[in-house]
Amino acid sequence: MSTQSAPRIRFTQTAPQQSFRLLELPPELAEVLSAKDAPTLYLKSSSSTGPNAVDKDNYVNLCTLTKTYRVRQVQSSNSIHLLAPSPAERVRLLSGKISSDVNGLDGVDTISAIAKCSSTLELQSLSETEEVDIARRLLEDKLRVYDRLSVDAVGEDTVMRDEGEDLEEGHGVSSGSGPQRESEGVIRNRILNEVPMCATRCRAVWRELCGFVATDLRTGTGLVAYRPSARVRLDVWKRIQEGSVLEGIDLGKLFLVNDLWKAVLTEDGEEPFPRELFNAVVRRVAEPTGSNDDDAELRWVNLDMAIVVRFVGETYLEATAPTERSLIGRTEFLAAWKDLLPEGWRDQVSLDKIQGSYNLPDPISIYYHRQSEVTKAASSSGATVKNARNWHERFKAQRK
């Protein structure tokens, strides 16, 4: 009777076991990392301690320049062992210690279990709307609110901040002077790096909030990262609109930013607000250029009509009717909104242009209410995605 010899593999276990964490990559990220020009990955966590910070901010995200993945720990119902080929020397030593049980096993392949993982790390892709919502909330915590109007007396400290906000040096604030003082770009980049979202989304939200870095008005020294309040953004836009009319600058065409800046100065040539604030508002409503360089000098600019119409409508409503208690008439709001726009753009005014930014408590009134991007996306699509976490379910799906 003939016999068949089957290959044998000796299985051992090392002691002590090594420490490993398994990270499962989504197919799209694995494909990107396999390319020759693979991007750099960043592990970013939130350090927010402001009034809007909550327990769920304690997490770690894996970010590329354009995409954010939430890192989650998933417990497995099965034991996961990491195996490695055993060194030849270990095989010989083992064969020498065990007598008859290993006779004739010289040269048999041997593998060892070097680690056991009871959980894995899973990457959950965040949608663009989720990234925007989280980045906006965290940046609003990190930036000091600038609430000084252009009509305020020169030198009067009317800078406001959110209740409970306490920005110290190294967190949106830089002290010192001369060459040792941090530049505006360094402070901005440090704050953006503290937001656990991809760099592209962080920069987009910074521009949306009209973030800027300027001299600390409380002390007169050092630089502070600000975000202007709604009434300040409205004040800056009014000065831009009025100055452009007086100086004959057509905001519907390409114009020199320096000419517009001169148009908003007072009769005595004084600055009604920091030039950095002016630049931030202009960038906010300018046509997208595709450049992420916020340090680049603004020279020639085209305003985007759709962006301007929405920005002015939302800003005016937030500044005049921020809550239901301060609601205003709908007709009054639409008329004021039109008056704040260039002549050729006034026919663009309609409530659908600021969808998701208002509430209508009755047929004639309106007040500001910012609906989260995630809520809007969820309400427009009730679909849910089933996520198979167990390894045997994943393998079963792959075999089909």
| Segment 258-283 mean pLDDT | 93
pLDDT score recorded for residue 380: 47
Cα separation, 71 vs 193, in Å, equals 17
Using only C-alpha atoms, what is the Rg of the chain? 30
Summarised one tens digit per residue, pLDDT across range 238-248 is: 999 999 999 99
> Quick check: 55 pLDDT over 60?
no
Peptide bond into 361 cis (omega under 30): no
| pLDDT, mean over the chain | 80
pLDDT score recorded for residue 222: 87
What sections of 12-158 are H helices per DSSP?
A: 27-33, 88-97, 128-142
Summarised one tens digit per residue, pLDDT across range 349-374 is: 999 999 999 999 999 999 999 876 54
Region of 29 on the Ramachandran plot (φ > 0 left; ψ -120 to 50 alpha; else beta): alpha
Q: The tokens of 161 are what?
A: 């901040």
Q: Which of 19-28, 34-43, 279-288 has the highest mean pLDDT?
A: 279-288
Domain boundaries, the chain: 9-126, 130-301, 305-375
Q: How confident is the model at residue 73 (pLDDT cuts 50, 70, 90)?
A: confident
Question: Quick one: DSSP state of residue 286?
Answer: B
Cβ(367)–Cβ(321) below 8 Å: yes
Mean pLDDT lowest among 6-15, 227-236, 306-315, 377-386: 377-386
> Quick check: 272 pLDDT over 70?
yes
- Nearest alpha carbon to residue 354 among 310, 306, 305, 304: 310
Q: Report which secondary-structure segment, H or E, holds 263.
A: helix 257-264
Cβ(76)–Cβ(22) below 8 Å: no
- Nearest alpha carbon to residue 275 among 267, 264, 286, 284: 264
Q: How confident is the model at residue 103 (pLDDT cuts 50, 70, 90)?
A: very low
Q: Look at 38 and 93; give whichever has higher pLDDT.
A: 38
> Quick check: 254 pLDDT over 70?
yes
Cβ(229)–Cβ(328) below 8 Å: no
Give the CA count within 13 Å in the CB-facing half-sphere of 2.
1
Q: Report which secondary-structure segment, H or E, holds 117.
A: strand 109-125
| Angle at the Cα of 158 from the Cα atoms of 157 and 159, rounded to 5 degrees | 100
pLDDT score recorded for residue 159: 45
Compute the CA torsion angle 117, 119, 120, 122 (nearest 10 deg).
Answer: 180
| Exposure string for 26-61, b = 16+ CB within 10 A, e = fewer | eeebeebeeeeeeeeeeebebebebeebeeebeeeb
Summarised one tens digit per residue, pLDDT across range 185-235 is: 899 999 999 999 999 999 999 999 999 999 988 888 889 999 999 999 999
| Exposure string for 65-87, b = 16+ CB within 10 A, e = fewer | eebbbbbeeeeeeeeeeeeeebe
pLDDT score recorded for residue 46: 75
What's this model's pTM, rounded to 2 decimal places?
0.78
Summarised one tens digit per residue, pLDDT across range 324-348 is: 999 999 999 999 999 999 999 999 9
